Amino acid sequence: MDNRMSEADYLASEPNFDLCCEYINGCVENEDMNLDKVFLFLRRLRF
């Protein structure tokens, strides 16, 4: 069962560093890294 965060789950959540890391790690582990999406998510972060 794939329990990593989906893109929809990520977009529906409050952006933060931990969620961003979780999403990126899931992409890397599943070898479906999409850097355009990752950079889009990073731009949403407000620290």
Nearest Cα to Cα of residue 7 among 22, 45, 31: 22
Q: pLDDT tens-digit profile of 19-43?
A: 778 777 877 777 666 777 777 777 7
- The pLDDT score that the predictor gives to residue 1 is 41
Domain membership flag for residue 36: yes
- Per-residue confidence band for 4, with pLDDT thresholds at 50, 70 and 90: low
Q: What per-residue confidence (pLDDT) applies to 33?
A: 63
- Residue 31, classified by CB atoms within 10 Å of its CB into exposed (0-12), middle (13-18) or buried (19+), is exposed
How many domains would you assign to the chain? Answer: 1
Q: Which domain holds residue 13?
A: 7-44
pLDDT value of residue 22: 79
pLDDT for position 2: 52
3-state secondary structure of 24: helix
- Token reading at 7: 């893109």
The structure tokens listed for 10 are 């990520």
Q: Which residue has the tokens 């070898």?
A: 31
Structural domain includes residue 26 = yes
